Amino acid sequence: MFEFRDLFQWDRFITPTIIKTFYWLVIALIILFGISGIFSGLAAMAISPFGGFILVLSSLASIVVGIICARIGSEFILIVFRINEHLGAIRDQGQGQH
């Protein structure tokens, strides 16, 4: 975890430690919006059964696609920070040889 003083120092990145929290918040929002879409589809079935059914299916599909996209985005951010760490280690190793 990070300390409050880490917010004011640039020696260490805090994003890798808080990205998981943001990931779970995004997942919660995706699920809430998906459930909202499902209920809207169920309500629309009273007016147009086919249109409501399509809305329910698209809401379920959007939940799955949203979760996958959130995971890919989070992993991309973590990979960028991991690349930075590895490049720093390579740089430090190269400076030790000179």
AA identity, residue 25: L
Q: Is residue 77 pLDDT above 60, yes or no?
A: yes
Which range of 5-19, 26-40, 73-87 scores highest in mean pLDDT? It is 26-40
Confidence band for 58, pLDDT divided at 50, 70 and 90? very high
Contact 54, 44 (CB under 8 A): no
Helices marked H in the chain — which ranges?
A: 15-44, 49-97
Q: What is the signed CA dihedral for 87, 88, 91, 93, rounded to 10 degrees? A: -110
pLDDT at 5 over 60: yes
Which two three-digit tokens encode residue 64? Answer: 């799955």
d(CA 37, CA 34): 5
Give backbone dihedrals phi and psi of 3, rounded to 5 degrees, phi first: -100, 165
